[in-house]
Each structure stands twice: as structure tokens, then as C-alpha cells.
A = this chain, B = another copy of it.
Amino acid sequence: MTAGTAPSSVKPSRPTVLVLGGGFGGLGAARKLEKADVDVVVVDANDYHSFQPMLYQLATGLLDTTAVAHSLRDLFQHQQNATVHQASVSAIDLDGREVQFADMAPLKYDYLVIGLGAVVQFFGCKGAPENAFPLYTVEDALRLRSHLVARWEAADRDPALVEDGALNVVVVGGGPTGIESVGALSELYTSDFAQDYGDALAGRARLTLVEAGPELFPMFKPDIREYAQHELEERGVEIMLGERVESVEPTRVTLASGTVLPAQTLVWGAGLQANPLTESLGMKLERGNRIPVDPELRLAGHPEVFAVGDAAWITDAATGDVLPQLGSVALQAGEHAGANLARIVRGDEPKPFEYTDKGTMAAIARGAAVAQLHGGRTMKGKMAFLAWGAVHLTLLSAWEDRTKAIVDWTWGGFSHERPGRILVGDKET
């Protein structure tokens, strides 16, 4: 990292690549430019990169903040041509090649990488913006953790609150986020909270998974879908398929069918739309406000601008499929954008992006995971759990030799310690 380079002192002698966002996409791009003859400026609204696939573990207290959030300055410590700033983008002027910030002087760029991620999409569900708990950011996860512990403490003080849904959680979405979250919650409830607060309370807590479609895990094969459903039901999770959430109030969730579930917590794992800043680009966007890119990941009419990650609408150059909003896609697309930029700067042609699908996997609970590998082979149970660990370890260590998160969790598997099970920060009562 070029230490202490103030925004105004970026050298004009070589091109500046401005990377907006320090998620998987932005980090991948910036890292691939390490040896390019450019100045890289990475700007994120936070001073940390968050390991989003593990956020549900932060929310359920199994991992601590530092296991899923890592200082961006630290990650770029050894990259000589990179500078980091924590600032909030307010506008992107594509024609003027300048980005404005709410809290920092504007920055000019020669090349731009947009990796601004997404925000949660509530699909018009009433009360969701105020009352639902999404799981997209570290602060989302901490907020959910505090809320859960506060609800249990309140029910401990006054058990009558249980009738009012104090301990019940409704998780929306039968995809990986929803299933991993409700699985982790079932472990937290049946082992830790049952011990902390007693079976009298824990026996009255209900966990419900609501999915609008006809089945869980639509991207997986039938044997996986059945396994996931069985494993969750074994752990006391009630699964409601073909149901939509109509409205969310502080103490209850109303489904479109008219069913009312008393619950003081609703976890939203159902959908994303691109960062609202994409709307200010003045271009035609794809579904969910995602930015369409050409096969080389550039914007139409702006070959100096790349978009990657959850904010981008990326079509695989080999298969023609639109790629999903996943960390692995963001990482590969980010690295590809960085590599293409390096090619352009040294006078070579950029290459089209092809996603290497290593498979999809999800952990339901300790020792119970599912995986569908590229080519269609499926795995379930303990072996899939180990594979899940290996893949997430690889993703984590893409940035550095940092195995802390997995080690913590693996160790937690033996010792059943849950150090994050405390109420710090935004305290609720």
C-alpha cells in the first residue's frame, strides 16, 4: 500500500484505476493489478472486507467479528501500488470520469471498477424494511445477534413474552442463505440456548422456514433437496413451502395465505438488488438494477469501466447463462476484470469471462452439509461438511494465510464454545 497518499496527490504520470467496493469483486480486481503499471485506489464505505458467506455464523455467535471482517488496509499492506480510503460514494460521473463522495473530495480515474455490491430486496413485503433482519453486512449480523440474545433475556425476565413470539424466528428464503441461517439457529437454540435459559423456555421456541416456491434449494438435485428438508425437520425446524410473507410487524409475521405466526424476529434471506447507485449511471439496467456488461466485463460505450460482483449482470461467455449473485462469481469476475485491465494497460486485448463452476454447497449444521459438484455429482452429510470447510478455507485464504475462521469453527465443533454469545453494542431491551 502506498502509505499516506492523500486523495489529491495521486500521481498523474500513470493511469489511475479506481476500485469502488472492497468485497470479493473489488478485492479480486485490485489484487490482480499488483504488477500492473497503474495506481490502484480502493474505496469502500467500511474500512474492512467482510467474508459474507460466514455472516450467519457471526449472527449466531459462533464466530467473532474479526473472523469475518478484515481490515482493508491490512489486506493491501504489501501491495505497493494500492491506496485505500474509507468513504461513501455519492455519484459516478461516467462522462467526466470522476466519482463523488459524501465525505471526501472527488476522485478522477482513468479506469473504473464498480464492485458496489447489493442491498436487500424486500419485494414489497409490508413492514420488512423496518422489522426484518437481512444478512448482507457485518452490521446486519451483529444487529441480529444482539436482537436474538435480547429477546431471550427478555423472555427469561418475563416468560409471558414467549406467547408473544419473543423466541420465535421466521426465516424467509429456501436458498443457501435461508437454509444455512435456520440450520445455525437450530443448533444455537437446541444446544446453547437450551442450556443457558433452560428447557422450559427453549422447548417453547419455534423456528420456521418460509419459501415461496414449491421446494427448498431449487438449484440442487432432488436427493439434496430431500436431505436438506429432512435434516432441518430433524432439528425442529418447521418448513412452509409455497408460502409468501405478506407483512412483518414487531411481534408477528403474516403470510399471504392468512396464517399469522407470532415471531419477534424475521431473518430475510430471500433476495438482492444491486446498489441503488447503479440507477444514477444513466444507463439501461437489467433485472434487480444490475449493470449489464460485455463479455470482457465492461460497460457499453465505456470500455474504461468494468462492473463485477452482485451489482453486475454478467453473462458467462462459454455457456451464455446469466451468473448468480454469489461470492465465488464475484471473486472470479473481479480477478478477471483486474487481469483484463492489466492486459489493456500493457497494450494487449482483454479476454471474455468464463466462470469456473466448482459446484454449490451449503452447511445445514455441524456434520450436515450438501454439495453439488460441477458435473452433477452430489454429496451430503459429513463428507459434504468437510468439503464445505475446505472450499471456504480456500476462499478465506485467497487473501492471506488466514485460517482463523475455519479453525475457530472447527474447534467450536469439538468444544461447543460460543464466545460470541454476548450482548455488546446496540443493546436492546
Contacts and interface: CB of A to CB of B under 8 A. Distances in A.
Interface of A: 1-7, 46-48, 64-66, 69-71, 73-74, 77, 85-87, 101, 103-105, 138-139, 142, 149, 153-154, 156-159, 194-202, 404, 419-427, 429
A425 B142 contact: yes
Contacts of A427: 139
Copies of this chain, complex-wide, total: 2
Contacts of A103: 154, 157, 429
A196 B2 CA distance: 9
Contact of A5 (B74, B77, B101, B198): B198
Contact of A3 (B197, B422, B426): B197
A66 B422 contact: yes
Given A104-B157, A196-B74, A201 B4 contact: yes
Nearest to A67: B419
Contacts of A101: 157
Contacts of A201: 4
B198 A3 contact: yes
A194 B423 CA distance: 33
Q: Ordered nearest first, which 7 A-B pairs have the shortest CB separation?
A: A4-B198, A3-B198, A66-B419, A4-B200, A73-B196, A104-B157, A48-B422
Given A3-B194, A103-B157, 5 more contacts: A4-B199, A6-B159, A66-B419, A105-B158, A139-B425
Nearest to A404: B419
Contact of A104 (B66, B158, B425): B158
Contacts of A66: 64, 419-420, 422
A154 to B, nearest CB: 8
A385 to B, nearest CB: 24
B419 A157 contact: no
Contacts of A70: 419, 422
B159 A423 contact: no
A133 to B, nearest CB: 16
A71 B66 CA distance: 18
A77 B192 CA distance: 11
Nearest to A197: B4
B422 A47 contact: yes
Contact of A7 (B4, B157, B196, B197): B157
Given A104-B157, A156-B85, A426 B425 contact: yes
A205 to B, nearest CB: 12
A153 to B, nearest CB: 4
A197 B149 CA distance: 37
